[in-house]
Structure 1
Amino acid sequence: MFLEYSGWQSVSCSWNGMAKTSTSLKSSDNTSVLLDVIRKDSNEEVETVKGKLEKRMPNIKVFSGTSHPDLAQRIVDRLGIDLGKVVTKKFSNLETCVEIGESVRGEDVYIVQSGCGEVNDNLMELLIMINACKIASASRVTAVLPSFPYARQDKKDKNNPTEKELHVEKWKSIEWKFRSRAPISAKLVANMLSVAGADHIITMDLHASQIQGFFDIPVDNLYAEPAVLKWIKENIAEWRNSIIVSPDAGGAKRVTSIADRLNVEFALIHKERKKANEVASMVLVGDVKDRVAILVDDMADTCGTICHAAEKLMEAGATKVYAILTHGIFSGPAILRINNACFEAVVVTNTIPQDGHMKDCSKVQCIDVSMMFAEAVRRTHNGESVSYLFSNVPY
């Protein structure tokens, strides 16, 4: 708080962990000019004008895990603050050790860690970072998970097949016997984050929006849709003659929302799987003849589904096929499949690092969503609503 006096006065206060001296001078025309002098630990003095300091968002710290430091850096650059200091190392037995390199007492802490790469190690690292900040007296700890780990394990699969289904080829595997005893790992991850000390979660395009209900703390599930719409209008010249396609029935709600906002039609592909990451058959529902088909999904892993879907769409008469995915995991044979597929482009966001994928495949393009996370952090820190981001891209 700044105190104003009729003459030269000085008052010491605390700002962002640094000692600060504020001086106020009343000029002859009764206007006040406020000069601030910040004394850092190095005794370096910096003169500033009131307002510049406020833009630096006091009492906030943003830290990055090792999964996606580039995204974390983009977020803090957008906010106009520095990335917090943290040291992560592994012991010889591969245990993770995290040391927070600066004070977080009374601070609003945000930890950016995506569920990609070495998922288990990165998840454990995040839990340790959350707990380290919490026991160091952080006032609030928010986990920023651009890609939520274990999101596909959000429910138990169907129960045992009926007598009639037993004769169908897909049930001949012994795999069905164990589906009713599958774990709900997304709920377990939610519990772990809460127990570690997380007070708030920020993520994007959860595989199933019901995952928000696994938490007893606030969850902001951002949508890539506004950024996707912007990319379509700027990069697909024939977008008015396009059709939005869901590669499975579960994504119907997602594609209808995009189709409505573009004022175009939508289609979907019904698929049956033999087992995980392996598609048995596909049936196209909708007319794509002489149109640009845009496949939209929340994630792609081995890319078997979207590559089969692209073939199906071309066979049905589509002129071009694009794929737009929020989370481009691209594991196993994914890049090879994309290179051999008939896509004009496979567009993903940078919730997961994509530099290596873009280098290996010229069809892979990336939408930067760091500004959406930065704005979500800013609004959360200032106690503002984040619902604006559900339908708009911040500039």
Structure 2
Amino acid sequence: MLTVAGATHVITMDLHASQIQGFFDVPVDNLIAELSLISWIKKNVPNYTNAVLVSPDAGGTKRCTSMADKLNLDFAIIHKERVKANHVSRMVLVGDVAGKAAILVDDMADTCGTLGLAAKTLMEHGAAKVYALVVHGILSGRALEVLSDSQLDTIVITNTLPTEEKIKACPKLACVDISPIIAEAIRRTHNGESVSYLFTCAPE
């Protein structure tokens, strides 16, 4: 639809499945929020060098380990068993979070049931505090209520989706502004410059 309408270049942010890029007949730049989220950790998590990054499922392991490597931190993985969509029956933690700040990392949060259960699991395993960093805060249904009632200290989302009303409704929510990344990508594309710079440096 976009290409038929005349689009000659597509800029996206953290696609849920990178294979989606293959559906386009024009160049696609799939930007990442990773560096902006890492910056938030360094500025807002006390003694972050003693934290552990946690993937809430096996599918997010690559993202989690990439951030852990850049921060020189350990990582853990939560294995979840589902009985049906959006319902997790059991969570198993692989890794050590005792006495440390646990930072959950995911690409999106919808109903937030997984995040709530993950935070509970991490606290039961001795985590001192639990944060969640999510690129796309969909936050549908009872998500805000789930987050408010959860053991999460702070839930960080980006503004790839509208955030203002959600943040007003849930004091635990914080937002990382990724508009400078999008703006710089547009500028570089317009001027015929390489966008690859944005995979190693995050404009502020």
Report TM bin, short chain: over 0.9
Matches of 2:186 and 2:81, distance apart in 1 = 40
What is the deviation of 1:252?
Answer: 0.2
Aligned to 2:156: 347
- 1:225–1:391 Cα contact (<8 Å) kept: no
Structure 1 residue matching 2:4: 3-state secondary structure: helix
Question: What letter corresponds to residue 234 of structure 1 in structure 2?
Answer: K
2:17 to 178, 194, 208: 208
Structure 2 residue matching 1:195: 3-state secondary structure: coil
Aligned to 2:120: 311
Matches of 2:191 and 2:91, distance apart in 1 = 48
Question: What letter corresponds to residue 236 of structure 1 in structure 2?
Answer: V
Question: What letter corresponds to residue 272 of structure 1 in structure 2?
Answer: E
Report which structure shows greater RCO (CA 8 Å, sep ≥6). 2
What is the deviation of 1:324?
Answer: 0.3
Are 1:300 and 2:96 an aligned pair?
A: no
In the superposition, the TM-score normalised over structure 2's length comes to 0.97
Structure 1 alignment gaps of length 5 or more: 1-191
Matches of 2:86 and 2:141, distance apart in 1 = 10
What is the deviation of 1:193?
Answer: 2.3
Matches of 2:156 and 2:82, distance apart in 1 = 24
Question: What letter corresponds to residue 204 of structure 1 in structure 2?
Answer: M
Are 1:241 and 2:45 an aligned pair?
A: no
> Whose Rg is larger?
1
Are 1:320 and 2:124 an aligned pair?
A: no
Aligned to 2:95: 286
Structure 2 alignment gaps of length 5 or more: none
1:367 to 176, 188, 192: 176
Counterpart mapping for 1:67-78 below 5 A: none
Question: What letter corresponds to residue 201 of structure 1 in structure 2?
Answer: V
TM superposition outliers: structure 1 runs of 4+ over 6 Å: none
1:217 to 23, 26, 34: 26
Counterpart mapping for 1:331-346 below 5 A: 331-346=140-155
- 1:358–1:364 Cα contact (<8 Å) kept: yes
- 1:296–1:323 Cα contact (<8 Å) kept: yes
Aligned to 1:14: none
Aligned to 2:189: 380
Matches of 1:361 and 1:278, distance apart in 2 = 22
2:78 to 266, 269, 272: 269
Q: How many residues align?
A: 204
Structure 1 residue matching 2:39: 3-state secondary structure: helix
Matches of 1:201 and 1:332, distance apart in 2 = 30
In the superposition, the TM-score normalised over structure 1's length comes to 0.51
Per-residue deviation, residues 190-220 of structure 1 (Å, max 9, x unmatched): xx22233221110101101111112121100
Question: What letter corresponds to residue 306 of structure 1 in structure 2?
Answer: L
